[in-house]
């Protein structure tokens, strides 16, 4: 049984790292040993669990389904070990998904305190400016913005921030400051992931609501780069205070149309549906909720 559980744990590590070598280094085995253990597991279950290529190792559809079913078992065992130790020590790997900008500005600066408290825990940060598939990408905790889809996920609200438009003083000196939302049509607009709204940019002021659809002069796939472009004077960008607080403080960006509200952006910590949350996941979410002071 121990060998089987070890193989299942290795399957999760290979799936998460996308590499036999990386998984081997994590557990202190040789790469051939890990490959052999996974091959034996595949032979036992009678299906191919991983697709091997020269670029990466990925789960097959059957492998993803299998791992999704067995991970709750591994989590229960981890919970039992955590309780029997009785000292609150967290071990293993915690895989956290977040956007690049939020991780750089809000998450990573908070990590030292958490990691000092739990030195035996390893954290994998998965940073992409899109919503991860928590099951197939084996994410234990994901930080998500805006309205959550009704997927049955376990979620906890961590904070909220106003959405706003920002631009550099040099851009506004050159192009002039818009006085009302309709004026944006004559301005250069930078569109990053956080500014992509299916209904356009919606503004509210004194009970009046205005929706504006704009063609961006610059489309950027990463929020952090969109803020950098705004600082460089390339146009007006939409973001939350989480994405630009430092620039606002230093004066490299200023608010545009400050008299108009663009709504609030919530951030939630979400955990995969249908899986028991592991102790490290719960501890990490509690830590974020405390340090973000909602």
> Residue 69 falls within a domain, yes or no?
yes
Q: Tally Cβ neighbours within 10 Å of residue 52.
A: 13
User: Does a structural domain hold residue 136?
Assistant: no
80 and 170: one domain? no
Please report whether residue 94 resides in a domain: no
Q: What local confidence, expressed as pLDDT, does residue 66 receive?
A: 87
Q: Which of 181, 171, 164 lies closest to 234 in space, CA to CA? A: 171
On the CB side of 190, CA atoms within 13 Å amount to: 27
pLDDT at 87: 57
Residue range 16-59, pLDDT digits in tens: 777 888 888 877 788 889 899 999 999 998 999 998 887 778 88
Does the pLDDT value for residue 2 go beyond 60?
Answer: no
d(CA 170, CA 184): 17
State the alpha helices, DSSP H only, in 103-188: 111-117, 169-175
Whether 276 has a pLDDT exceeding 60, the answer reads no
- The pLDDT value recorded for residue 1 is 40
| End residue of a domain, out of 36, 56, 87 | 87
Average pLDDT over residues 63-78: 79
The CATH number of residue 229's host domain is: 3.40.190.290
* Number of domains comprising the chain: 2
**What confidence score (pLDDT) does residue 133 get?**
73
Tokens of 85: 């130790």
- Copy the structure tokens of residue 92: 């293993």
| Rounded Cα–Cα distance for residues 154 and 166 (Å) | 33
Question: Residue 93 has what pLDDT?
Answer: 80
User: What are the tokens at 236?
Assistant: 């007006």
**Using alpha carbons only, what angle is made at residue 200 by residues 195 and 201, rounded to the nearest 5 degrees?**
65
Closest by CA position to 200, among listed 211, 191, 210:
211
**pLDDT value at residue 198:** 60
Q: Which of these three, 56, 72, 87, is where a domain ends?
A: 87
State the residue for tokens 């191919």.
48
- Predicted pLDDT at 275: 55
Closest CA to 203 of 213, 188, 190, 218: 213
Burial letters for 66-81: b for 16+ Cβ neighbours within 10 Å, e otherwise? bbbebbeebbeebeee
> Is pLDDT of 71 > 80?
no
Look up the domain containing 28 and give its range: 1-87
Q: pLDDT value at position 111?
A: 95
d(CA 223, CA 195) in angstroms, rounded, equals: 9
Q: Are residues 171 and 77 in the same domain?
A: no
Quick check: 230 pLDDT over 60? yes
pLDDT of residue 23: 81
DSSP H helices in 46-168: 61-85, 100-102, 111-117
Which domain CATH number covers 59? 1.10.10.10
> Considering the domain boundaries, does residue 279 fall inside one?
no
Per the listing, tokens 């000092």 go with: 116
Q: How confident is the model at residue 232 (pLDDT cuts 50, 70, 90)?
A: very high
Q: Is the predicted pLDDT of residue 140 greater than 50, yes or no?
A: yes
Tell me the average pLDDT across 208-216.
Answer: 88
More confident residue, 137 or 8: 8
Residue 85, pLDDT above cutoff 70: no
């Amino acid at each position: 049984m121990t060998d089987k559980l070890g193989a299942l744990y290795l399957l999760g590590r290979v799936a998460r790292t996308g590499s036999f070598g990386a998984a081997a280094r994590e557990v202190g085995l040789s790469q051939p040993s890990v490959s052999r253990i996974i091959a034996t597991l595949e032979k036992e279950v009678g299906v191919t669990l991983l697709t091997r290529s020269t670029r990466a190792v990925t789960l097959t559809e059957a492998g993803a389904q299998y791992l999704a079913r067995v991970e709750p078992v591994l989590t229960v065992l981890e919970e039992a070990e955590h309780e029997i130790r009785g000292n609150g020590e967290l071990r293993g790997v915690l895989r956290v998904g977040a956007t690049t900008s939020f991780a750089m500005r809000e998450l990573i600066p908070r990590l030292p305190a958490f990691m000092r408290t739990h030195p035996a825990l390893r954290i994998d940060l998965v940073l992409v400016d899109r919503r991860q598939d928590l099951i197939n990408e084996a994410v234990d905790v994901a930080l998500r913005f805006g309205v959550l889809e009704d997927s049955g996920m376990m979620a906890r609200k961590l904070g909220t921030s106003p959405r706003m438009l920002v631009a550099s003083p040099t851009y506004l000196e050159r192009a002039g400051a818009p006085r009302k939302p309709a004026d944006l049509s004559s301005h250069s607009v930078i569109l990053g992931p956080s500014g992509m709204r299916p209904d356009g940019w919606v503004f509210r002021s004194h009970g009046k609501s205005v929706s504006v659809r704009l063609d961006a002069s610059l489309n950027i796939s990463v929020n952090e780069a969109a803020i950098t472009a705004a600082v460089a004077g390339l146009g007006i960008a939409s973001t939350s205070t989480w994405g630009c607080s430092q620039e606002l403080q230093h004066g490299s960006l200023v608010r545009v149309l400050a008299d108009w509200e663009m709504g609030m952006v919530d951030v939630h910590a979400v955990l995969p549906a249908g899986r028991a949350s592991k102790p490290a996941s719960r501890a990490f979410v509690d830590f974020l909720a405390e340090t973000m002071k909602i």
